[in-house]
Amino acid sequence: MNILLLAEVSASVVLGGAERVLREQALGLRKHGHDVIIVARAPASDPRRQVAVSDLVERRYTVSRRSEPAFVLSSLVRSVKAFDEARALISPDAVIIHQSLAGFGTILRRRAQARQWIYMCLSLAHEEYLSRIPPATRPLDSLRRTLNATARRWIERIVMNRCARVLVLSQFMWQRVLAVHRIPENKLRMVTGAADPDRFRPPEDPVAIREQLKLPLHRVLLFTVRNLVPRMGLENLLHAIATLGEEGRDLLLVIGGEGPLRPALEQLIRDLGLTDRARLVGFVAEDALSSYYQAADLVLMPTHQLEGFGLVTVEALACGTPVLGTPVGAIPEVLARVDPGLLADGTDSTALAVAIRRILRRFCDQPGEQERLSMKGRALVEQDYTWDRHSEQLQRVLHEVRPAPAAR
């Protein structure tokens, strides 16, 4: 089949989960013998019109960033133009839309140009927007925020209703799509989130990895990698480390990632007196990510809200590192299958502190328990959360929607 993937993120550089899913999905489809082209919005830092993603082509369109209306209008117009240019190279049998704005103009104006349309819902567009834009204090700004969220919800619903199938990564997102957009449930299909067990695997020499990353050898290392935005619960996590007091004197919390909260988190670390117990290491490049997982004694998912799947969870488990998370979104779907004790009772700092204390004491009091959780987490990923399995699930969806050959 000829397949186009439409996205607002680029698969050429993996900055987060959205880019990872786009890239792995495209490469998986190519592996199954499909002809694939990615059409994506160009990142502000890299306006090139075309880049290579392994042996695939990513064609790009630029947008105006002068204002919100200019951004939306240019996205609609230029995404359609980029679709037309890609369609000159292959006539698509199926189009998979990864973010609603990337496919909105195209599915409205070029719907007849592809046999089937599919929507990949990683998170609900308006909820993601609201989680990134804090509530405004001025009435005009508050109105603008509400209108933007409403528009995103409206656009996503239109796109979903025009697609033959809507794909989700978790049962949590399955229920959110039904609750918010009320599409027929028979249109929904599950294609689970995943990790690459060859890239993310247990370390041969953890000591050497810590030395390479310049991390202390004789401290308990806690690691999390997140976009530094409010919904990730990082402020609560820092307060939890402070709550541990002397009991946490041997801990070192390493936080990877970039985002608008970085200055506030740096100040909070100073205010809480955690400069020797918490470290912000900035953006963690794709090639270094597995090393941080491997170096850690425990990976943390302190999410406060909206975790559509959480690729970090399965990537860390694939590296043989236990993960402790909050009972938010899809996190319990994975961690409860390893051990219910890996879930905190809530998202606040007290619940996080209690959970961290409990799991670390368990590691100390029960010899072999950390290794048992390590092996169980790795086995679960190999069984249910690989990109090969994701590709097979996607293959079944494509065969479902593929039109039957015309009778002779």
| pLDDT tens readout for residues 41-98 | 999 889 999 999 989 999 999 999 888 889 889 999 999 999 999 999 999 999 999 9
pLDDT value at residue 340:
96
pLDDT value at residue 236:
96
The DSSP line for 174-190 is HHHHHHHH---GGGEEE
List beta partners, residue 279.
254
pLDDT value at residue 135:
82
One-letter amino acid of 283: F
Overall number of domains in the chain: 2
End-to-end CA distance of the chain: 21
Report whether 257 contacts 226 (CB < 8 A).
yes
Residues 176 and 28 in one domain: yes
pLDDT value at residue 403:
63
Contacts of 296 (CB under 8 A, 6+ apart): 221, 222, 223, 254, 316, 321
Predicted confidence (pLDDT) at residue 406 exceeds the cutoff of 50: no
Q: What share of the chain is helix, strand, coil (3-state, %, to 5)?
A: 50, 15, 35
Residues 177 and 92 in one domain: yes
Q: What is the dihedral of CA 168, 308, 301, 21, to 10 degrees?
A: 50
Residues 232 and 313 in one domain: yes
Q: In angstroms, rounded to a whole number, what is the distance separating the alpha carbons of residues 156 and 36? A: 24
Count Cβ atoms below 10 Å from residue 65 Cβ, excluding itself.
10
Q: Which of 34-48, 123-137, 325-339 has the lowest mean pLDDT?
A: 123-137
Q: In angstroms, rounded to a whole number, what is the distance separating the alpha carbons of residues 114 and 351? A: 50
Q: In angstroms, rounded to a whole number, what is the distance separating the alpha carbons of residues 237 and 66? A: 36
In a domain, 269, yes or no: yes
Count Cβ atoms below 10 Å from residue 14 Cβ, excluding itself.
19
What token pair was written down for 225?
């990698």
Residues 280 and 359 in one domain: yes
Q: Where residue 293 sits, what CATH number does that domain have?
A: 3.40.50.2000
Q: What is the mean predicted confidence (pLDDT) over 289-317?
A: 95
Report whether 243 contacts 350 (CB < 8 A).
yes
pLDDT value at residue 30:
95
Residues 63 and 36 in one domain: yes
Residues 49 and 89 in one domain: yes
Residues 154 and 301 in one domain: no
pTM of the model: 0.93
Residues 142 and 16 in one domain: yes
Give the structural domain span for 397. Answer: 2-194+386-401
Residues 169 and 213 in one domain: no
Predicted confidence (pLDDT) at residue 408 exceeds the cutoff of 70: no
In a domain, 331, yes or no: yes
In a domain, 407, yes or no: no
Residues 133 and 10 in one domain: yes
In a domain, 355, yes or no: yes
Report whether 120 contacts 193 (CB < 8 A).
no
In a domain, 326, yes or no: yes
Residues 397 and 357 in one domain: no
Residues 265 and 278 in one domain: yes
CA 25, 28, 30: angle at the middle one, nearest 5? Answer: 110
The DSSP line for 109-139 is HSGGGSSEEEEEESS-HHHHHHHHSPPPSSH
Q: How far from chain centre, in Å, is Cα 22?
A: 10
